[in-house]
Structure 1
């Protein structure tokens, strides 16, 4: 499958890397790879994973597979922060709002459906882009599923934001969610006998509202007390969202270790021959969140996230086209340059 970006896409030179002990005649190097390609976009809640996935999908024939364990359920669009039809920009999305709210959907279920979605997208000559914050789902698919690993190579993009900046943003986002109707949305599906450990009711924004919603049907609770309970619920939602961001960032670092991703080649895991598909590419979007004004933030996003990701994915997609150049580059042993490392980790 060949997928091309627009001619405006910039190309950059690949860094030199240490060649394996077997040299240019290493059997693994000489073996022809016929795997299809998948892009995986990860990051903590609120960092812009969906935005990046959609940006990439509008620049090439691609479809997005949701890997957020709460967004897979039907309902609670505000609480789970699903992308709107307008935000989707006509990009097809899979595994988004498809599961019954009371169902016990798990990583194994995701693995089966995501593999089916990837196969379907590839048959239509599209590129699957998997995007979401549930790292256990990603691991279940790209590491634990033999069929997926035998069919696909992955390019991993990590949208990261410094936690102190992200914490401020997600707290403000909760306020916007409340203004958009979060309370009414949760109230509409409130069930005093519901289990908050099953289905969509596990989502942040639902258990925290329990005491407030119960108070609404209690004649012994006055309006002032209800207002206090609502305020407490909102603060708890903010706190739990910040905690989630911390856990997700920690889990991403664990996922990097589990998948054997780094700054150099890792030929043992079958993740590909070149640096784009053996690394977890960290894209620091902190400046985007610090900018004030739509134009300034948009410029920072394009410069720091969208354009670098486009270059990385373009190189990843054209591995076979550039393989001869790559083989020539690595025929002479050399270490990854300090500049290459700095460019990847800054």
Structure 2
């Protein structure tokens, strides 16, 4: 089942501070380096939801760091956040790259660096969010240490226990198929295409190749069997990718000594509806807000209210797919 949550809600003030003190001190980070928030995690853990949660609580914009979501097209297959579900938060590097060209780590570093500077020049906080951990590593630990020398980073990782996550991504794919994912990929199918270039590298594209080639020559039962085989292969490949992504994060934390705040969302995935929203707020969004507030403004968690938010936003019926 695809989990949908309400994101943009009427919010309350974060701080127990008098108005004058809030105006003079609150929105002025004290350290010399500019500050950047980076959200990591395996596919399906809720990074997109958390990035929007934080961007509606802090003056921030989101920079996508998922290399597949950077490509234009195949929005269902790549699970991009629809425009209407972004709660008015500006997104960068999301659906901007031609699907027929390669978007390399070097390309990402150059474009993400430019986007970071642009967001900061507007007086806002860059929130870099996505699953391509090798691209994030290339950006943060570049050869000349330019990024580290200019920016102070707050790393958040949304974690979900693998058995729970595997079940969720399986249900999510079933929902994507109901949303006509197969038709979307069929319309993009090219028998002469190179699956090593561009968006065709995405999980959910090459797995359908055999099905689309054989489809015209099979009866209904045979088509159904071959389709289910393709879907099961996508599920296996997605779960394998999630494991690889988590291993990469552990390496960055344990071998590269990145200070990563692990935020456990496992319990959230056991709930539905309002209970899931409340669990997400308590365990993920609220906790992450405290971490980011302390990082940006040197406020301790004791200064925060139960349901924090740094600025008031209109009440919108925004939902998002994890």
5+ unaligned residues in a row in structure 2: which ranges? 1-10, 18-29, 301-322
Distance (whole Å) between structure 1 residues aligned to residue 185 and residue 72 of structure 2: 13
> Is residue 307 from structure 1 mapped to residue 286 from structure 2 by the alignment?
yes
Q: Which residue of 2 aligns with 1:166?
A: 165
> Is residue 182 from structure 1 mapped to residue 161 from structure 2 by the alignment?
no
Distance (whole Å) between structure 1 residues aligned to residue 37 and residue 105 of structure 2: 19
Q: Which residue of 2 aligns with 1:45?
A: 43
Distance (whole Å) between structure 2 residues aligned to residue 168 and residue 52 of structure 1: 20
Distance (whole Å) between structure 2 residues aligned to residue 33 and residue 86 of structure 1: 36
The CA RMSD measured in Å over matched residues stands at 1.8
> Is residue 298 from structure 1 mapped to residue 277 from structure 2 by the alignment?
yes
Q: Say which structure, 1 or 2, has more relative contact order (CA 8 Å, 6+ apart).
A: 2
Q: Deviations over 1:283-322 (max 9, x none)?
A: 110110011x310000000000001110100010024x89
Question: What SS does structure 2 have at the residue aligned with 1:233?
Answer: helix
Q: Which residue of 2 aligns with 1:91?
A: 89
Question: What SS does structure 2 have at the residue aligned with 1:56?
Answer: helix
Question: What SS does structure 2 have at the residue aligned with 1:159?
Answer: strand
> Is residue 59 from structure 1 mapped to residue 57 from structure 2 by the alignment?
yes
Question: What SS does structure 1 have at the residue aligned with 2:237?
Answer: helix
Question: What SS does structure 2 have at the residue aligned with 1:144?
Answer: coil
Q: Which residue of 2 aligns with 1:134?
A: 132
For normalisation by structure 1, the TM-score amounts to 0.77
5+ unaligned residues in a row in structure 1: which ranges? 12-31, 262-278, 323-346
For normalisation by structure 2, the TM-score amounts to 0.83
Distance (whole Å) between structure 2 residues aligned to residue 254 and residue 127 of structure 1: 27
> Is residue 212 from structure 1 mapped to residue 211 from structure 2 by the alignment?
yes
Q: Deviations over 1:60-101 (max 9, x none)?
A: 110000000100000010111001122211100000001111
Distance (whole Å) between structure 1 residues aligned to residue 252 and residue 177 of structure 2: 33
Q: Which residue of 2 aligns with 1:78?
A: 76
Q: Tell me if structure 2 keeps the 8 A contact 1:9–1:311.
A: no
Larger Rg: 1
Q: Could you list the runs of 4 or more consecutive aligned residues of structure 1 that deviate by over 3 angstroms after TM superposition?
A: none
